């Protein structure tokens, strides 16, 4: 993965979405191996990464929509 949080914000939206989804997948994998509150925390992080990916995609669609009108 290699990119820090500051580096992610500098990436183009599609690359950021991919990184966010990769981070969500990592959190889900770790959550599957964890138990109790650690598992819940990993799953919460996965949901947040997925939400961030969805928000970024929504913003990207909005930008494309407004730039073509």
The reported pLDDT for the residue numbered 1 is 47
Q: What's the pLDDT tens digit per position in 45-56?
A: 999 999 999 999
Which DSSP state fits 10?
T
Q: Provide CB contacts within 8 A for 41, sequence distance 6+.
A: 31, 34
Q: How confident is the model at residue 67 (pLDDT cuts 50, 70, 90)?
A: confident
Contact criterion met (CB below 8 Å) for 63 and 16: no
What value does the mean pLDDT of the chain take? 91
Separation CA 29–CA 27 (nearest Å): 5
Contact criterion met (CB below 8 Å) for 20 and 5: no
């Amino acid at each position: 993965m290699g990119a820090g949080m500051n580096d992610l914000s500098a990436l183009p939206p599609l690359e950021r979405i991919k990184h966010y989804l990769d981070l969500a997948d990592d959190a889900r994998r770790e959550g599957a191996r964890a138990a109790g509150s650690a598992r819940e925390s990993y799953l919460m992080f996965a949901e947040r990464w997925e939400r961030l990916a969805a928000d970024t995609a929504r913003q990207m669609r909005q930008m494309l929509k407004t730039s073509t009108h």
